[in-house]
Amino acid sequence: MISNHLLFKLASGEVFGPDQPIALKLLGSERSFQALEGVAMELEDSLYPLLREVRIGINPYEIFQDAEWALLIGAKPRGPGMERADLLDINGQIFAEQGKALNAVASRNVKVLVVGNPCNTNALICLKNAPNIPAKNFHALTRLDENRAKCQLALKAGVFYDKVSNMTIWGNHSTTQVPDFLNAKLMGTSKGSHQ
């Protein structure tokens, strides 16, 4: 289920701006539905001036109807003894279904942000199941891994993290991920010149 913190930032105008009204449609599961009802009541009780509607449901074809933005936060986490292939199969099914629903009922210009790990793979699965939505509208949020790499470079170089730029990571959040520190820059210059 989506983080309450993010929902309140969306409702307050911090994400899309202080003049942009917003309608939140929250997709949950049968297991999370009761908690989702509580979150919806909290949002409504907060009386955010920009929040026009809060709808909840478990059917992506209803929740994604005419959506302009789809923030796909949830994915099944890897449990004890679970093989990575099993997890990919389960999450693949979830993101394939969500891609099909977005393709069928969302705005043709919907922007899709996938956070659920492995977000690169999940974003690709969702994209492949939504052929009517431009591929450029799908994004995987790997920022946590990028931030970690920036922090490690900054600590090693003895500078504050805002001095690190051009840092990229390749791959999913796993042992096969590759931080591209060779192209990173410290204080605006190539990393190679600061060794």
Strand partners, 84: none
Cβ 20 vs Cβ 50: under 8 Å: yes
Here the tokens at position 166 are 């051009």
Please report the pLDDT score of residue 3 as a whole number: 58
Q: Distance between CA atoms of 61 and 77, rounded to whole angstroms?
A: 24
| CATH fourth-level superfamily of 4-140 | NAD(P)-binding Rossmann-like Domain (3.40.50.720)
For CA atoms 121, 122, 125, 127, the dihedral sign is negative
Could you report the per-residue pLDDT of 58-92, keeping only the tens digit for each?
A: 999 999 999 999 999 878 877 788 777 788 888 99
Q: Distance between CA atoms of 66 and 29, rounded to whole angstroms?
A: 20
Please report the pLDDT score of residue 193 as a whole number: 45
Mean of pLDDT values over 134-158:
90
pLDDT confidence tier of residue 1, bands split at 50, 70 and 90: very low
In this predicted structure, the answer to whether residue 126 has a pLDDT above a threshold of 80 is yes
Q: Distance between CA atoms of 66 and 69, rounded to whole angstroms?
A: 9
Residues carrying an active site annotation: 173
Could you report the per-residue pLDDT of 158-179, keeping only the tens digit for each?
A: 999 999 999 888 877 777 788 8
Report pTM.
0.79
For the chain, give every domain's residue range. 4-140, 143-194
Name the residue with tokens 């920036």: 150
Could you report the per-residue pLDDT of 3-48, keeping only the tens digit for each?
A: 568 899 999 999 999 999 999 999 998 988 999 999 999 999 999 9
